[in-house]
């Protein structure tokens, strides 16, 4: 079982929210802070959005600028210290892009994961063979040890599926995801069989959007929506890309993805129909 201890990534997000609250309470913009502390505005943004940790000297400067009460200083300083602890995936830092590393932290804490896959399967659903085929195809020129580390991280991420309690996962796949024989027929057959195993869990829902549905709300590409149990932890969206992923966390952006996901649910096959489709696809490889 995975530990229930919050990940450093989630703790950084809580820390960022606290510092943003202090800044807004002091009636200062991020530009004001950057100017007064002679920082870049992007540094302020990275701290408040959990993309960067904050060291104690910088934290002290923020406290002084915001005229933070001592009781809050002690609590937030302790939170900052916890957020700087290393998580398991940080040992693979050389092999991971920054946004992906951050996403793993959020994923490990999410209570609900809503996935739309347009071309390949989401990392939580992949077999090691399928993952190896994908990562090797996009890692031309990389050292073999780096490629192997990326495969290992992808497999280690799947420990979240057996967390207590496990997250609820709702995955919607374009038919192209199930048609593309990644790694060859044998690898794809075993991948489809693995999908059936995962989909048999009570916390997992799987749907497929057939080709005959035409254009749909996910036509622009894959995305993952992460929701959290804590009332103060707002949902966020992660979109992967060739040179790294990006997060969408502004409420209006997240709302658009939620609406898109709801639309995809209505045009996709049901969970039962999707499993029947996968079973037929498996037989085609026999």
pLDDT tens digits, one per residue of 2-59: 444 566 777 787 788 889 889 999 999 999 999 999 999 999 988 888 777 788 899 9
Rounded CA gap, 89 and 72, in Å?
30
Tell me the whole-structure pTM to 2 decimals: 0.73
Residue 130 has pLDDT above 80, yes or no: yes
Q: What percent of the chain has pLDDT over 90?
A: 55
23 in Cβ contact with 15 (< 8 Å) = no
pLDDT digits (tens, 9 = 90+) for 150-200: 888 888 889 888 888 899 999 999 999 999 999 999 999 999 999 999 999
Only one residue has tokens 């800044």, namely 23
The SS3 assignment for 252 reads helix
In terms of Cβ atoms closer than 10 Å to its own Cβ (0-12, 13-18, 19+), residue 94 is exposed
Residues 6+ positions from 81 with CB-CB distance below 8 Å: none
Phi, psi of 243 (to 5 degrees): -110, 20
What's the mean pLDDT in 77-89?
73
Structure confidence at residue 21 (pLDDT): 87
> What is the edge-to-edge ordering of all strands in the sheet holding 204-209?
204-209, 168-174, 112-117, 223-227, 236-239, 246-248
């Amino acid at each position: 079982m995975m530990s229930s201890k919050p990940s450093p990534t989630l703790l950084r997000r809580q820390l960022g929210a606290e510092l943003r609250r202090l800044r807004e309470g002091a009636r200062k913009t991020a530009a004001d802070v950057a100017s007064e502390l002679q920082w870049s505005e992007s540094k302020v943004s990275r701290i408040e959005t959990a993309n960067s940790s904050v060291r104690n000297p910088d934290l002290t400067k923020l406290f002084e600028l915001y005229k933070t009460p001592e009781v809050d200083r002690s609590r937030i300083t302790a939170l900052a210290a916890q957020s700087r602890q290393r998580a398991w995936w940080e040992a693979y830092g050389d092999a991971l892009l920054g946004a992906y590393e951050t996403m793993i932290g959020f994923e490990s804490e999410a209570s609900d994961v809503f996935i739309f896959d347009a071309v390949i399967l989401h990392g939580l659903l992949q077999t090691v063979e399928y993952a190896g085929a994908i990562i090797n195809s996009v890692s031309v020129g990389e050292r073999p040890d780096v490629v192997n580390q990326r495969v290992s991280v992808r497999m280690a991420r799947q420990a979240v599926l057996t967390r207590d309690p496990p997250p609820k996962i709702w995955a919607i796949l374009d038919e192209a995801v199930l048609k593309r024989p990644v790694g060859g027929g044998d690898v794809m057959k075993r991948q489809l069989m693995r999908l059936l195993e995962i989909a048999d869990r009570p916390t997992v829902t799987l749907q497929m959007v057939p080709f005959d549905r035409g254009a749909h709300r996910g036509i622009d590409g894959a995305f993952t929506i992460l929701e959290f149990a804590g009332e103060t932890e707002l949902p966020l969206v992660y979109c992967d890309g060739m040179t790294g992923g990006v997060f969408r966390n502004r409420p209006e952006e997240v709302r658009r993805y939620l609406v898109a996901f709801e639309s995809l649910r209505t045009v996709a096959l049901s969970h039962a129909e999707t499993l029947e489709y996968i079973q037929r696809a498996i037989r085609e490889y026999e």
